[in-house]
Amino acid sequence: MRKHIVAGNWKMNNDLVQTQSLITELKKQSQTSDAEVMIAPTFTNLSAAFEALKGLEIEVIAQNMHFAESGAYTGEVSAEMLKSVGVQTVILGHSERRAYFNETDELLAKKVDAALANKMRVIFCFGEELADRKSDKHESIVENQIKKALFHLKASAFEQIVLAYEPVWAIGTGETASPEQAQDMHAFIRETLAKKYGQETANSVSILYGGSVKPGNAKEIFSKPDVDGGLIGGAALKAEDFYAIVNAF
């Protein structure tokens, strides 16, 4: 059975003290669902987050990484560096990385390879823009993003891959894909995986939805059969809201 996962992407929010105090608030919440819970603080606070979370089953993950092992890449962070502080999972391909830092599918393929070579798990993000959906190109856009960045992998590599469908028009906008739109796309993604890797592999991959998930809409979105969890931005910055979403399963 594939896992339920709820991951909080903190983006460029929370300094050291705010990271510690949000974790103190997270510790006061109780989990009633079976979801795996993750938080992605900024690089500078990863170690502090591990320290503050001791004893709690929340995985600390990273928001990004470089594909090279080390070298002259000013300002970048490698898989080895992440692993050295305990990080085992990295988010790659977030639409903000694609839009503001020009990350292409080709670059993301290299990052995915580097993460997998380091035995890290990847939460791979992709999704269409509003114009793509309006012109009915959303499925072909998503199919291309997945093919270009992931389809060079062997089926066994998908044990380490989690997919996150995040329609760009729904991220941070308050506008969510309807549960039906999410389900349709997730089913399409699973079908695309099945065509390439077979149904068994396709069924084993967790596909998260991201884009304005809130306590008020999480239950309905998560009730869809191909939605296996969520990548949560804004609502992950409030402990109570985040756990309301975690417990929506």
Enumerate binding residues for ligand PGA (CB under 6 A): 9, 166, 171-172, 210-213, 231-235
Measured from the CB atom, is 172 or 198 closer to ligand PGA? 172
Single out the residue of 49, 5, 1 nearest to residue 210, CA to CA.
Answer: 5
Q: Is 139 a catalytic residue?
A: no
Q: Determine which helix (DSSP H) or strand (DSSP E) holds 90, and give its type and residue range.
A: strand 89-92
For the bound state, the minimum distance from the C-beta of residue 69 to ligand PGA, rounded and expressed in Å, comes to 27
92/72 Cα distance (integer angstroms) = 21
Interior angle at CA 129, CA 242 and CA 65, nearest 5: 60
For residues 185 and 149, the answer to whether their CB atoms sit within 8 Å is no
Residue closest to ligand PGA, measured at CB: 233
Q: Is 166 a catalytic residue?
A: yes
Helices vs strands, H then E, count in the chain? 11, 8
Q: Which of 94, 96, 103, 128 is catalytic?
A: 94
212/234 Cα distance (integer angstroms) = 7
One-letter amino acid for residue 41 of the chain: P
Measured from the CB atom, is 211 or 229 closer to ligand PGA? 211
* CA distances from residue 147 to 30, 151, 192 in whole angstroms, order as listed: 39, 5, 9
For the bound state, the minimum distance from the C-beta of residue 25 to ligand PGA, rounded and expressed in Å, comes to 18
Q: Which residues are annotated as catalytic?
A: 94, 166
